[in-house]
């Protein structure tokens, strides 16, 4: 029965609470004292463990027990999987929203902006690109589709538009198929929604 004082456990709890705060209130809206208070620990400990608020943010966004993993599988099913992950998955560790959308709350800082762009470009645009193969303007079509998914997520949670906020995956699925086909010129199957 060792460790009531457990460095790694405390560190992990700090990261967990930091994730929630940063996702919900943004970088500026979250103080180190807030995070430390959630854990019930002295604020100075945060600096001992992470060095600075900025490094705490970086590590909190990078590490998660439910990490963001890009979907794979047949290309035709990617749009539906991305919709599910970006819009409908309940990212409990990030206050309910997808980490990317949560991170946009802190995007008034240039380095956060860069981080979001890099994540979008290197991640989501890459897996979508295959869908646009064979079309001219393939890159543009890809980004336009990504813009749609991102916009849906933002309108749903960050803005809180009435109909979209209540919409289910099954409600949106047929329109996903229609828009996907319009952009990529190939049939996009309606995802199976678990009932």
Partner DNA sequence: CAGCTAAGTCATCGATCGATGACTTAGTCT
Partner DNA sequence: AGACTAAGTCATCGATCGATGACTTAGCTG
Touching a second copy, residues 12-41 (CB under 8 A): 25-26, 28-29
Phi and psi at residue 34, in whole multiples of 5°? -60, -55
**The entry of a second copy, DNA, none that residue 127 binds, CB within 5 to 8 Å by partner kind:** none
| Residue 19 vs 105, nearer CB to a second copy | 105
Q: How many residues bind a second copy (CB under 8 A)?
A: 47
* Helix H or strand E segment including 46: helix 43-50
The answer to whether the beta carbons of residues 180 and 145 sit under 8 Å apart is yes
Touching a second copy, residues 46-75 (CB under 8 A): none
Positions in the binding site for DNA (CB under 7 A)? 1-7, 10, 30-34, 40-45, 47-48, 51-54
User: Rounded to 5 degrees, what angle do the CA atoms 58, 14, 105 make?
Assistant: 45
Stretch that binds a second copy, among 7-15, 53-61, 64-72, 105-113 (CB under 8 A): 105-113
Give the residue among 57, 70, 69 at the shortest CA–CA distance from 106: 57
| Residue 16 vs 143, nearer CB to DNA | 16
Give the residue among 8, 7, 17 at the shortest CA–CA distance from 39: 17
Q: Minimum CB separation from a second copy for residue 102, in Å?
A: 10
**The entry of a second copy, DNA, none that residue 2 binds, CB within 5 to 8 Å by partner kind:** DNA
Rounded-to-integer distance, Cα 141 and Cα 146, Å: 9
């Amino acid at each position: 029965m060792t460790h009531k004082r457990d460095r790694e456990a405390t560190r992990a709890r700090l990261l967990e609470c930091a994730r929630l705060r940063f996702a919900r209130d943004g970088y500026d809206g979250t103080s180190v004292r807030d995070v430390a208070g959630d854990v019930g620990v002295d604020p100075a400990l945060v600096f001992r463990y992470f060095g600075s608020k900025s490094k705490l943010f970086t590590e909190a966004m990078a590490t998660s027990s439910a990490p963001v993993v890009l979907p794979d599988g047949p290309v035709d099913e990617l749009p539906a999987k991305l919709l599910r992950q970006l819009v409908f998955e309940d990212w409990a560790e990030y206050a309910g929203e997808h980490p990317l959308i949560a991170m946009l709350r802190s995007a008034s800082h240039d380095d956060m902006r860069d981080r979001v762009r890099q994540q979008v470009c290197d991640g989501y645009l890459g897996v979508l690109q295959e869908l646009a193969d064979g079309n001219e303007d393939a890159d543009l079509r890809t980004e336009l589709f990504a813009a749609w998914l991102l916009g849906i997520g933002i309108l749903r949670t960050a803005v809180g538009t009435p109909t979209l906020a209540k919409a289910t995956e099954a409600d949106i699925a047929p329109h996903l198929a229609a828009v996907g086909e319009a952009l990529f010129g190939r049939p996009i199957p309606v995802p199976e929604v678990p009932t």
